[in-house]
Amino acid sequence: MKKLTLKNYFFVGNPQTKSISLVEWLVKQMLHGKASRARTRFLQLINDRYKEVDETRVELLKKYAKRDKDDKVIMLYDKPVINKKTQQIEKIETLETTDPKIGKRYDMDKDNLEKFNKEYTDYLNEEYIVDVTPATRDHIYGVREILLDTVEEFSERMAVLYDEWCDAFENIQEEKDESKKEEKKGEDKTEETKDDEDNKEEEKK
């Protein structure tokens, strides 16, 4: 069975490098007809992994975050301090909270931040395998056409990601070719066995 091999980091964007995930990129494409349907069904196909990647990020953040005396995760948020006379922002204070509705980021010490970065990076480099079945092949190959036919221009980190996305979808065909090679090898081996048997029969005569 042919397979599509994706990386977990395909499902993550990064504002610092101005890059977006494969999911985000597909969502913002203006498509119609068959291409639009392929995009929608492909996104449904990978939705569970997309959610899992974000949930894993949050779980790891909680794992390495500082905790209070009640073992609650400590989060940070910024609060502007207003000058009463000028009514202007005088400074920004960083405050702690255990309320996830208020907190904007997790508080970690240096050692735990390094541990988080390593474990999260290792996870993002893991592969996600999608089987190309009769039920999914049209969605997968449809998205491959969307990727390869785009006229959008890419630069910096997005150019690298786009190239990796395309490679992943193009390698489906390569796997098919490898499958044919294996079949050919099997046929050659069968022919060799048959020839050996014929030679043995000749020797007996």
In tens, the pLDDT along 190-204 reads: 555 555 555 555 555
CA distance 21 to 50: 10
Last residue of a domain, one of 107, 136, 163: 107
Q: State the total domains in the chain.
A: 2
CA distance 140 to 26: 12
Residue 49 has pLDDT above 50, yes or no: yes
pLDDT at 192: 55
Where is average pLDDT lowest: 33-42, 67-76, 80-89? 80-89
My answer on whether 71 and 171 are in the same domain is no
My answer on whether 114 and 73 are in the same domain is no
My answer on whether 101 and 177 are in the same domain is no
Which residue, 26, 49, 2, is CA-closest to 146? Answer: 26
Per the domain annotation, does 97 fall within a domain?
Answer: yes
Under 8 Å CB-to-CB from 97, ≥6 apart: which residues?
A: 74, 75, 76, 77, 103
My answer on whether 41 and 128 are in the same domain is yes
Domain interval for residue 93:
66-107
Strand, coil or helix: 120: helix
Per the domain annotation, does 163 fall within a domain?
Answer: yes
Residue 51 has pLDDT above 80, yes or no: yes
Sign of the Cα pseudo-torsion (103, 109, 111, 114, in order) = positive
Predicted confidence (pLDDT) per residue in 14-42, tens digit: 988 999 999 999 999 999 999 999 999 99
Phi, psi of 19 (to 5 degrees): -115, 150
My answer on whether 127 and 185 are in the same domain is yes
